[in-house]
């Protein structure tokens, strides 16, 4: 990455290949980089007062300024950017990029997006990578996973445990999802109540597979996904408290 040729360029970054962004910022004849990982030409940056130009752009374009530094850098350095290989800024929205973890053994992961690896509902495989490197830092001693904040997030956790055949943990998080949902919405039928109670009976009898089956049946009838979708970002209501 450090050997990137930045002659006559202010920086290099990974092209998002995002037509919506180039159209929004009138950059149809340029490309739009993600600012999570950048290689800067500091001599160029200082000689052309790029920081000051970015600040001026932000002040003059409040309605266009959605992604702050990223938008300003792309606009100020229009035509003055070079591309980095994708491996230097893999943004692991799982469905899109998870296979590239194998393709690129040397890589930089950018845990972008609204769901982060310190949240329990994050993709377990990617979370393991995050933890591996966190353990090399002093902050491992203060690290705790954030528990689910709504039923959709609890379902993600439960579904991943279910796929790993960890049925005790799966049962517990299906219970959490049901409790969160019921605390905000009344049960629609006696069938739901019977299904939930049946799950509880199996759980108490330590028949955790059957307990999961009951809980999953109830959650599915409410519209929650009971299969773990690799792209957790598409799961309805995952980001909010709407049940």
Q: Count of domains in the chain? A: 2
Query: pLDDT (tens digit, 0 to 9) for every residue of the chain, 243 residues total?
Result: 989 999 999 999 999 988 999 999 999 899 999 999 999 999 999 999 999 999 999 999 999 888 889 999 999 999 999 999 989 998 776 555 567 777 887 888 888 877 889 999 998 988 998 999 999 999 998 889 999 999 999 999 999 999 999 999 999 999 999 999 998 888 888 999 999 999 999 999 999 999 999 999 999 999 888 887 656 666 666 766 554
The enclosing H or E element of 104 equals: none
Q: Are 226 and 220 in contact (CB under 8 A)?
A: yes
Would residue 198 be called left, alpha or beta, if left means φ above 0 and alpha means ψ between -120 and 50 degrees? alpha
Q: Are 131 and 104 in contact (CB under 8 A)?
A: no
Domain final position from 50, 71, 87: 87
Domain of residue 57: give its range: 11-87
Closest CA to 81 of 18, 27, 13, 5: 13
Q: Report yes or no on 4 lying in a domain.
A: no
How many residues are given for the chain? Answer: 243
Domain final position from 87, 118, 136: 87
Q: Report yes or no on 99 lying in a domain.
A: no
Domain final position from 33, 54, 87: 87
């Amino acid at each position: 990455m450090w050997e990137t040729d930045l002659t006559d360029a202010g920086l290099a970054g990974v092209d998002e290949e995002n037509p919506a962004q180039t159209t929004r910022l009138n950059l149809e004849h340029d490309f739009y980089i993600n600012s999570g990982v950048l290689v800067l030409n500091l001599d160029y940056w200082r000689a052309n007062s790029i920081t000051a130009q970015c600040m001026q752009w932000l002040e003059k374009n409040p309605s266009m300024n959605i992604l702050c530094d990223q938008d300003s850098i792309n606009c100020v350095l229009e035509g003055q950017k070079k591309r980095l290989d994708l491996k230097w800024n893999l943004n692991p929205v799982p469905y899109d990029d998870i296979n590239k973890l194998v393709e690129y053994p040397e890589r930089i992961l950018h845990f972008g997006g609204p769901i982060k690896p310190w949240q329990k509902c994050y993709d377990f495989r990617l979370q393991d990578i995050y933890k591996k490197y966190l353990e090399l830092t002093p902050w491992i001693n203060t690290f705790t996973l954030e528990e689910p904040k709504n039923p959709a997030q609890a379902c993600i956790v439960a579904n991943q445990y279910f796929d790993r055949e960890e049925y005790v943990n799966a049962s517990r998080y299906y219970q959490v999802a049901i409790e969160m949902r019921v605390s905000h919405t009344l049960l629609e039928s006696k069938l739901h109540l019977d299904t939930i109670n049946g799950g509880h009976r199996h759980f108490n009898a330590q028949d955790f597979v059957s307990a999961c089956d009951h809980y999953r049946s109830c959650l599915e009838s409410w519209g929650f996904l009971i299969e773990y979708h690799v792209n957790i970002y598409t799961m309805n209501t995952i980001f909010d408290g709407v049940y």
